[in-house]
Amino acid sequence: MSEVPCDELMDFVLERSELFSRLDPETINNIGKKCDLVRFNRGENVFREGDRADYMYVIGEGEVAVFKVVGQGEHELMRLGVGSHFGEMAMISSARRNATIRAMSDLLCVRMNETSFNALMESEARFAQRMLKALAERLRDTDEAAMQDMVLAHQALSFSLAKLADSRDPETGGHLYRVREYCVLLSELLRNHPKYADVITDSFVENIYLVAPLHDIGKVAIPDGILLKNGKLTDAEFEIMSTHTLLGAEAVDTVLEFCDFELFHMAKRVILGHHERFDGLGYPRGVMGEAIPIEARIMSLADIYDALLSERVYKRAFDYQETRNEIRAHSGSRFDPVMVEVMLDHIEEFEDIHRKFSEGAKDHSSVE
């Protein structure tokens, strides 16, 4: 980043912005005195998610992209070009940056610090009116995103409940984290497949990251004598265990009475459908093929992939090659065959996640 001292260029950039356009030259000049010009190289971050909000920016040349962290990677939300402004909302609310802004080309911006911005809001009525209008439009256009803080707060509570269910279930450490990462990775890979390109959106990936840990939330209602049994379940016990899908879905129904958001609808579909099978022999409803919601099919593959690699009281942990073979063997019967194909084409990435999130994991490196 470098500063560029030039009053005339400053005024030119401000006049091209909708926020400042049609203000008289004297006002533009006064505003320009409170700003400076900065350049960023292509690929350089203007600021990062979580940074303190100390400047707002107006783009004079170039383009930026807005990124948010989801899972292990960043996901591009939108791009902004010449005349666009950004950074003011976090500054007004004294919040940390909720996204990363990165220069996608060599970039020139007018930059205004927090002190100058606040002084301008108090002294220039027309600027304050424009800013109010701009904020209202942005809130209207991003209404769903504006609810994300509340959604994340609920998700944090839900994750705590999910961990409670997981702690009562004799599974290896890190299961919730691994499954969440598998789901995000598989979703990202599937969005590049022509069959799913129009279905899996940025919002889908963000939502599945949030809801994946809830898939077994219904297990909190399963009796310890069944959930913690040191051995294979009887048929009667399995019938009781299988109700965790229905119990979990009922819990989400309670949430939906108050918060009718797509996030929670997805959570219900995942909870209810992740034990269904592609051949229709799963539970609780015996749904078949693509009638099973896509997010539930993703979760089914992710959940069983992790189970195969994990030690249980009734089985040893499979190595990586055995797990690949088992997944391949159940393509089209237990699993969506397209999803199996995509997973196996990128299986090393799933194995990397398993290694990363396996605390004290055994060596699973036996592969062809």
| Secondary structure of residue 311 in the 3-state scheme | coil
What is the rounded CA–CA span in Å between residue 92 and residue 87?
9
Active-site residue, from 33, 133, 163, 219:
219
Site of tokens 């797990």: 323
Please name the residue ranges forming H helices in the chain: 7-15, 25-32, 88-93, 114-123, 125-141, 143-146, 148-168, 175-190, 202-211, 224-227, 235-242, 244-256, 262-273, 294-308, 320-329, 337-345, 347-356
Active site residue 232: no
What is the rounded CA–CA span in Å between residue 102 and residue 177?
28
Specify which residues 58 forms β-bridges with: 85, 110
Greatest alpha-carbon span in the chain:
83
What is the rounded CA–CA span in Å between residue 271 and residue 269?
6
What is the rounded CA–CA span in Å between residue 198 and residue 205?
13
Residue of 68, 118, 61 whose CA lies nearest to 84: 61
Could you please report the per-residue DSSP string of 279-309? TS--SSS---GGGS-HHHHHHHHHHHHHHHT
85's tokens: 């402004």
Please, what sign has the CA dihedral across residues 145, 149, 153, 159? positive
Residues labelled as active-site residues = 219
